[in-house]
Chains A and B, each alone.
Chain A
Amino acid sequence: MTEYSKELLTYFYRTMCRIRLFEETVEKHFLNGEIPGFVHLYIGEEAIATGVCANLTKSDYIESTHRGHGHTIAKGADVNRAMAEIFGRKTGFCKGKGGSMHIADFSVGMLGANGVVGGGFNLAVGAALGIKMQERKDVSVVFFGDGASNRGTFHEGANLAAAWNLPVIFVCENNKWASTTPHGSQTSVENISDRAVGYGMPGVIVDGNDVFEVYEATKKAVERARQGGGPTLIEAKTYRIKGHFVGDPELYRTKEEVKEQFEKNDPIKRFEMKVLEEKWMTEKELAAIKEEEEELIKKSVEFAKNSPFPDASEIYEDLYV
């Protein structure tokens, strides 16, 4: 059995808890009518962003999706400013111009969530081209869903990344639902990773609710990319616990199905069971981390709510340099 440092285990647990608590809090305030727009939650998929980003440094890039809060947090973005952005405040990362679907923190290499499904592929490929031309050792990661893998952007990006041998990691979060349609109904293959073959890159499948598996597979892919070995496609199998968006009536599945998935496959519970069983961490340690994160998220809401909205006069700012 692989030994993990206490530091890494703590990062895993802290990050997954932070994302979960952040998302539950966002959901609550959205339903209270305090958050404008659309919100897509990452609950149940926390192990993927966490396991992937544990392998990255600040100068590595990620391209995210409309379901992007988890990626933002895992890449190390400040939760106060993330929450403030979602609340539409001036202190948010985008000064209230982006919101949930366009959250970004360039200071940690988080190049943006994207309101267009499949919009991030080629941006990530281009960022990797920049990395390569500057002779850096960094990598560029693009998160996407099983639904996005049906877009032409995926296929063009995968081809270019492989043809030019670019340091890109394609991370498919196969959560079984492309908006309202189940995976098998609109996608030609069972495993998205099979598509890697068509582009001459390795494709691997991991249990997306097992942070250790995600971490190990990403580690290999990142090392390969840093050494000039080119792109990898990682398919992380998971399940979307929440609706496509908050407020989704979810007419396409039963509550029982969701409940069963969450009960048997919650990535955070699975982590707790594993580290306790292996005696890598104690209940006390876990509880202390969780408590700290609860406090952090609570404070982020206070920060957001106490922040001013942008002034209407700011509408023309940041359009051009």
Chain B
Amino acid sequence: MKEEIIIAGFGGQGVLSMGKILAYGGIMQDQEVTWMPSYGPEMRGGTCNVSVILSDNKISSPILSRFDTAIILNQQSMDKFENQVKPGGLLIYDPNGITRHPQRKDITICRIAAVDEAAKLGNAKAYNMIILGAFLKKKPIVTMENVLKGLKKSLPVRHHNLIPMNEQAITVGMNAVEDI
């Protein structure tokens, strides 16, 4: 198994931490992982992306131009990454703020209205976990058990009380994701 993912959106949406939890989940099931963030000037308040690779084998290049999955959370990222999804790949996006919806016919496209779902939950911070849930529904490459283990690893101990809330958000995302 090898899954190459780009997660892209605005800073503050939890893009980097979502990637980190996914990567930790991979480690929990004894896979090789890389997590490569954009750390350029765009990091300061603008767009933000991270590429995550999970693989059963050693990972060579952490730098990719084509992805199995793109998780897209703003228009700039849609413009940049829609065409970098491999044919037959997956594109998941949050329609909130998207003015030009994806056009590709050779990939699977899914929507997750995570802003709305997070509002329903009354917890804006659950946003990225809802997205993660949507992804894991479409590609169950990491089990819930390992995601939670990964969460435990990547959250400081003082925040471990938030894990049940995160689990709930992941489940919400799994249920709310819709194919187009």
> Do A and B bind?
no
Chain A residues proximal to chain B, CB less than 8 Å: none
Chain B residues proximal to chain A, CB less than 8 Å: none
